[in-house]
Structure 1
């Protein structure tokens, strides 16, 4: 009865109250390990992320956590910092702890696993996995259309790190969207984040390299919000105004994006929803429930929010 079993409903209310009173008196706590041995279910999920920090991973995790808690599941989180040997080691560690399934966030998986698996922002899907992926084509179009409508043609791009799962598909989507719009991307205005983590300092360093190159640009589209925030700092330090001299667009819409000065215009990646969808999909597979689609790739559409970091092309642009 204390476990919430449906059969407990047949127990008279008076008897139930006596049981609960005794449990409170003796500080009874259910033995989860014993219950899992009896049911052959650990009620535990493994979650793999590159790092646990403010921004992308934290928002995805919040969606995963909410859904798992609703279903009575616990989870382990491991962060591998994009080191392949850690990914393999942690995968074995999670499986040894009898997790019933795994959610891999921005984590490359080379081989099929022995438990149900859902990937968030992956682009190599081993057999049997489901991938929750953003519509990068639409994301690129939303950002470039906004800047083009404001009159910008000289647009600098900051690409993601070489190891990030989204870097290549996002860059290809930007190139394709620019081509469809007759926009020429200057290769000298393309920089790449260099280093681990999503920190502002990586975007700051990339923007400094752009400025030191001496090429003029009136807008900048960054791989993520952290890079965009770092870019704004570098621009201001160089004596430029945002958006008076350079408009800046980010990607993700992390919690701090709206509280910058100016607020950051950005592609809204529904990270909480993607995490929640990954968790509910995984539980559907574990519990044998029907899923909304039989496809192994589920695409989620982005949004776009305009704030103070973008404005019309300046007269001197």
Structure 2
């Protein structure tokens, strides 16, 4: 005998989904009350939490599946966001996206993901395409916007963005202080640096943090020991090239602080090819704590940027803003320009006490 649910015959191996009327009949409540709960209407707040849980449990039991199209037309909502990233690759963007996705799934939202590869024409076109697809808001990740958004927008690492956009950023000064204090405690005074690409929204903020931290610690930053990542490859090559350039100056240094982990991994290879050891000859420290950082040889000391949490915070924030807007509770004077998250130093095997100067 096949299982049956109110509303129709079950198909072989699959229970037939039901509508709001069947769920309402099952719990003995009005269709309007059940609709408010299952469609996450603001009016559902007036329904006791115990009753809401009973409705949700009945919906699961009866295999209720909402008609998303009908709900969108009825509520003039799509429950969809747009997410814009430079590229999808192992590391930074992947972790941020994981946090965004987790938060959106929890709230019943979908998202369109686009990769603009830092091409202005794609970035501008995608903004318009996402709006044309009726997204309710947009989350941009490490992305420079060339025009003011026409829809609610949240930026992850949007240090340059203003015009009513809330940015989720890491405390760069605190991050730099952690890294430089760690290196100085190990006896490193001659420290080399690799700055980020000029197009990255984090580059200037992170470099400002390093300069302020160095000043506070009375550490000298020598211009000849500062390199910059060039090119737009999302791989280890830019870090490898920048490190080779530093080594070719023959300016001695015992530690290298890299813009991100991807660059740091490339730096380790360049140092080894020069006949030097990490960390015995040169200590290397990265930034981000991507998932592969712990599995490098040696394990990479890095400043952990809570990327997954930043993605979740961005998603939660834009959903709250959308809800406030629907309830006409937006107060322009209460706009938060930045949400700052704190970093954490993760010490692994790529840093050690200073020994010989690099010649």
Offset, 1:36 = 1.4
Change (3 A) 1:111 1:4: farther
Kept in 2, the 8 Å contact 1:159–1:171? The answer is yes
Match in the other structure for 2:343: 302
Match in the other structure for 2:44: none
Structure 2 residue 25 is matched with structure 1 residue 11: yes
Residue 176 of structure 1 aligns to a residue whose secondary structure is helix
Kept in 2, the 8 Å contact 1:112–1:129? The answer is no
CA radius of gyration, larger in: 2
Structure 2 residue 111 is matched with structure 1 residue 53: no
Kept in 1, the 8 Å contact 2:19–2:66? The answer is no
Match in the other structure for 2:140: 104
Offset, 1:176 = 1.4
Of residues 215, 228, 233, the one that matches 2:269 is 233
Q: Normalization by structure 1: what TM-score?
A: 0.90
Match in the other structure for 1:287: 323
Offset, 1:309 = 0.1
Q: Normalization by structure 2: what TM-score?
A: 0.80
Root-mean-square deviation (Å): 2.6
Kept in 1, the 8 Å contact 2:18–2:65? The answer is no
Offset, 1:215 = 1.2
Offset, 1:39 = 1.9
Match in the other structure for 2:249: 213
Match in the other structure for 2:185: 149
Match in the other structure for 1:272: 308
Distance 2:249 2:272 in 1: 17
Residue 244 of structure 1 aligns to a residue whose secondary structure is coil
Offset, 1:9 = 5.4
Change (3 A) 1:295 1:13: closer
Q: Deviation per CA, 1:184-234: give whole Å up to 9, x if none.
A: 111111101111133111111111111111111100000000000000011
Distance 1:242 1:4 in 2: 63
Query: In the TM superposition, what are the counterparts of 1:31-70 in structure 2 within 5 Å?
Result: 31-70=67-106
Query: Which residues of structure 1 form unaligned runs of 5+?
Result: none
Match in the other structure for 2:227: 191
